[in-house]
Amino acid sequence: MSFCSLFEVLQLKKTRVLFCCLGNICRSPTAEAVFRVRVEEAGLGQHIEIDSAGTHDFHIGKPPDTRTQRAAMKRGYDMSGLRGRQVEISDFSRFDYVLAMDHANMENLQRLCPQKEQGRLELFLKYASRHGEREVPDPYYGGEEGFERVLDMVEDAAEGLLRYIRQASG
Ligand code: 4NP
Cα 71 to Cα 60: distance, rounded to the nearest angstrom: 22
Burial class (CB in 10 A: 0-12, 13-18, 19+), 34: buried
* pLDDT more than 90, % of the chain: 91
- Testing ligand 1's pocket by substitution, the residue of 24, 26, 67 carrying the most ligand atoms inside 8 A of its CB is 26
- Testing ligand 1's pocket by substitution, the residue of 30, 140, 141, 147 carrying the most ligand atoms inside 8 A of its CB is 140
Q: Report the mean per-residue pLDDT for the chain.
A: 94
- For residue 72, how far is its CA from the centre of ligand 1 (angstroms)? 16
pLDDT tens digit sequence for 58-67: 999 999 999 9
Average pLDDT over residues 10-26: 90
- For residue 25, how far is its CA from the centre of ligand 1 (angstroms)? 6
Distances (CA, A) of 146 to 66, 85, 152: 13, 23, 10
Listing DSSP states for 119-149 in one string gives GGEEEGGGG-SS---S-----TTS-HHHHHH
pLDDT tens digit sequence for 99-140: 999 999 999 999 999 999 999 999 999 999 999 999 999 999
pTM for the whole structure? 0.94
The predicted structure's pLDDT at residue 8: 46
The predicted structure's pLDDT at residue 169: 87
Do 138 and 102 touch, CB atoms closer than 8 A? yes
Which ligand 1 atom sits closest to the C-alpha of 21? 3
The larger pLDDT score, comparing residue 12 to residue 14, is at: 14
Burial class (CB in 10 A: 0-12, 13-18, 19+), 143: exposed
Q: What is the CATH number of domain 13-169?
A: 3.40.50.2300
